[in-house]
Structure 1
């Protein structure tokens, strides 16, 4: 903090009168380290502002209550990393008043800054010099009840997410978040029941029990009961706002263009899309106040980011969704292109959603990979290679980070999420998919493994080992065993799947159960949980082959 003041000559500070008895106020430039004068009060105010101490700054004004509220609002809304305040040209007058200017610089990350110059006055009271409180001390023209705020801006139009064919798969749309705050209702149970009745026409699964469970888990904090699109709001016969404790919050959300579709890939794709939005985001400082339109004071906004091109096949995604709901237990199904490793779609039923199953979560494979592990051991012995290296090349021993498919977690947010290294016969659907692609490529004479991917141009990270050249001496017996399983083994009852090669297995009566199939240029991975999950996986597979 600096104080800039011109020190006036002593004679200039003497009171002057004229013969016509006109009194002229004398002015004296002030400065130095004297804390008892107007400059001292301004300096203390400025120092408190630099500390972002609204209450401390307000204490040096004539209206601490009003000033404290206004300064708090602006400091919080500006949310600056640093605030620099310089006192400029403080001048005291002989009538016990003074004037001054403040040069304030607000600073944020990425070298963003906003500089203002405001003016104010001070009065000498019985308690000392105080700054006459006016909102214009913060910024010229700021009205009572107004504030400055720094906000994020996003380039328009927002990027869309496109499918394999180039059609819009997901896009940004206004949504309505239905919020229930237990602290704003006298009877939270009654509010939960009333909200469930209101939502029933459009969201029948959001029952009183579901809402009550969310409230119990929130420990007294507001909960988001459901998110609805604008057309959904018109279906309801009553307004959620009328329920005590309920409010409707407008927001924007990346949603499926085809409302029939849903996928566990949505969080990963949204995370990737949001990273683009964040990279192209701008900023703006605004002056806002009662009854006035927000006024832009400063800011920058660059061009919009590119759309996200994916490998998703929308028609296949719909098929996968219909197959996943074939069974009444957790079921997840993923399809990949057998030649490239491109993820064509992934779907799951509501039971799997409740279990939080995703492409990266690892699960016991039980007997599913016995033909694979047997050939890996045989090859390792015959060629004096390590089993780990062979497993890695098959996609089973490595860790994948697949932009657009790796779901954010609390420990590893965003696209940094990776699969856990499968050990003790555990694997993720991503590992199983990579294995299937490696075997399919081998059957086509392409003797190398490739990582799965879903965002075109966004490479998958592979750590913990290396993919690479495949050995026909290993893959051919595995493919033969898969063909036998499809013809005379556990998958022999499946119909509508000519040329099928399959691995089928469970981890005991309680599961989980797996199905890995190569058919029609695609790799199909199915994971089910619960009793008879191996049978459930075959049921899902049969539904897929029947409707594909």
Structure 2
């Protein structure tokens, strides 16, 4: 009987009633909760019994969850006479888009010589979380990924597994040796990845890890040595939108990839995961919608291949684009390495020099150049002096074509390849009440036109321009071109150092060529001849 009474007395001595909000224990737990809410890793860790362990896991958790906001509410706290206390936490993680994840956990606190401290336990963040585990919020993408299709509906670009081969200067004792070894390892499939190209990337990264090259799985199988065995080199598996036909290359791929990424972003889902070593991530919360639609373009792969072969006809920077004359649909675009190195863009306005003289002459001859407003109205109807935002096409901002105050023959007039393309299409669509058709590359999309309007075409101006273009093709600068029956062309340069232009209409297509450098007008004609020979 005495033993039972004694045991009961011990139990009663250990129990206390709920603590009020002003107790030391309550204030310690509230301070811990507030620090978590502020995402103050060290502040929260210092309020626990194991600051170093707490700081490590809290840091990993905040980084993995990357919340916009965290709110932590403390529940009923009970103090015991042995210097301990118990409490509950309700933690809500919030992200943009009304995404949230809530956990309810329990913990304990202890009164130490330094004051009350929260007993550190990973379970404070999520019940069942271990010291070597973590919580993370990740993006999820619907499957299958959208396919970028050609005009015929066949895959033009699609997501494929790739291998990002990176090199980290901090992870190798002999960086020069690692760079040489990496360049040699990938040489069989990526000869353009040289010691110099890798060194240039490393120099620009200022000591950070860089991606030396990205290879498809089929390329990796052709390597005679494993890059991952090189000090400082890692091979990371991922997915990337790539050309279905590896023979093809086009500046259009950047804009199409951006458009594809926008669809992926719009259909992306999310997950909160519990991650532990040696086990697959466990989904705790999240949502994933349906897959996004495929992207159907106006690109003709055979035309794109021809354009690529034509662009490399000259060594100086050369870019070529073709469009359907009736609709403005872009059939393809290509440029050589020299143009790519100079970042030649279809939306950048470049000097036209004498190229548009027949246009200005026609405007003046028809009496439309009496004042700048009238002249610009005609130019706008032809697609000149405007800016085009083409969905699926990477066009830099701040590149508005420049128009001189001299409306008859502007000496400093500039135009982009898109302007020239719109001009070619407008001239072929003239007649009746038809207006110019802005270029486009994604079927069903609408090109935005700013800076003016594509109004009704002036038949008199159009007839004069077409007559000049026919003369240029028959007896003028483009008369030496062969295998181009019915060609009409504008040809010109901005002086001996260029740039040089060719804008042609032939066989239901508009051909726009832009070249830079010495004798660039001749170079543009060389590219045009190569195109007509191959098509």
TM-score of the pair, normalised by structure 2? 0.94
Match of 1:297 in 2: 284
CA distance in 1, matches of 2:360, 2:245: 41
The match for 1:208 among 180, 186, 195 is 195
Aligned counterparts, 1:124-523, within 5 A: 124-381=111-368, 386-407=374-395, 417=397, 419-423=399-403, 424-442=412-430, 447-523=434-510
CA distance in 1, matches of 2:339, 2:23: 68
CA distance in 2, matches of 1:19, 1:447: 104
Matched, 1:28 2:16: yes
Instruction: Kindly indicate whether the alpha-carbon contact (under 8 Å) linking 1:169 and 1:257 is maintained by their aligned counterparts in 2.
Output: yes
TM-superposed CA distance for 1:21, in Å, is 4.2
CA shift digits 1:189-245 (9 cap, x unpaired): 222222111111001011112222222222222222211111111111111122222
State the secondary structure of the residue aligned to 2:326: coil
State the secondary structure of the residue aligned to 1:386: helix
Instruction: Kindly indicate whether the alpha-carbon contact (under 8 Å) linking 1:321 and 1:349 is maintained by their aligned counterparts in 2.
Output: yes
Instruction: Kindly indicate whether the alpha-carbon contact (under 8 Å) linking 1:393 and 1:466 is maintained by their aligned counterparts in 2.
Output: yes
Gaps of 5+ in 2: 404-411
CA gap 1:334/1:445 in 2 versus in 1, 3 angstroms: farther
Gaps of 5+ in 1: 1-16, 410-416
CA shift digits 1:291-310 (9 cap, x unpaired): 22210000011111111111
The match for 1:103 among 85, 90, 110 is 90
Instruction: Kindly indicate whether the alpha-carbon contact (under 8 Å) linking 1:286 and 1:296 is maintained by their aligned counterparts in 2.
Output: yes
CA shift digits 1:54-83 (9 cap, x unpaired): 111111111100001001111111111111
TM-superposed CA distance for 1:379, in Å, is 3.2
CA shift digits 1:521-541 (9 cap, x unpaired): 000001111111111111111
CA distance in 2, matches of 1:188, 1:20: 73
State the secondary structure of the residue aligned to 1:292: coil
Segment of structure 1 superposing worse, 178-187 or 230-239: 178-187
What is the count of residue pairs matched by the alignment? Answer: 523
Segment of structure 1 superposing worse, 41-50 or 88-97: 88-97
TM-superposed CA distance for 1:375, in Å, is 1.4
Match of 1:413 in 2: none
CA gap 1:316/1:21 in 2 versus in 1, 3 angstroms: closer
TM-superposed CA distance for 1:445, in Å, is 5.8
Match of 2:408 in 1: none
State the secondary structure of the residue aligned to 1:483: helix
CA gap 1:21/1:321 in 2 versus in 1, 3 angstroms: closer
Matched, 1:19 2:5: yes
CA gap 1:418/1:439 in 2 versus in 1, 3 angstroms: farther
Match of 1:9 in 2: none
CA distance in 1, matches of 2:352, 2:189: 39
CA distance in 1, matches of 2:283, 2:468: 69
CA gap 1:122/1:371 in 2 versus in 1, 3 angstroms: same
CA distance in 1, matches of 2:255, 2:399: 14
Match of 2:409 in 1: none
TM-score of the pair, normalised by structure 1? 0.92
CA shift digits 1:410-430 (9 cap, x unpaired): xxxxxxx47423333111110
Segment of structure 1 superposing worse, 385-394 or 521-530: 385-394
CA RMSD of aligned residues (A): 1.8
CA distance in 1, matches of 2:458, 2:212: 53
CA shift digits 1:154-209 (9 cap, x unpaired): 11111111111011111111111121222222332222222111111001011112
CA gap 1:532/1:49 in 2 versus in 1, 3 angstroms: same
TM-superposed CA distance for 1:380, in Å, is 4.5
Instruction: Kindly indicate whether the alpha-carbon contact (under 8 Å) linking 2:433 and 2:456 is maintained by their aligned counterparts in 1.
Output: no
Instruction: Kindly indicate whether the alpha-carbon contact (under 8 Å) linking 2:473 and 2:479 is maintained by their aligned counterparts in 1.
Output: yes
Segment of structure 1 superposing worse, 43-52 or 417-426: 417-426
Instruction: Kindly indicate whether the alpha-carbon contact (under 8 Å) linking 2:32 and 2:44 is maintained by their aligned counterparts in 1.
Output: yes
Match of 1:414 in 2: none
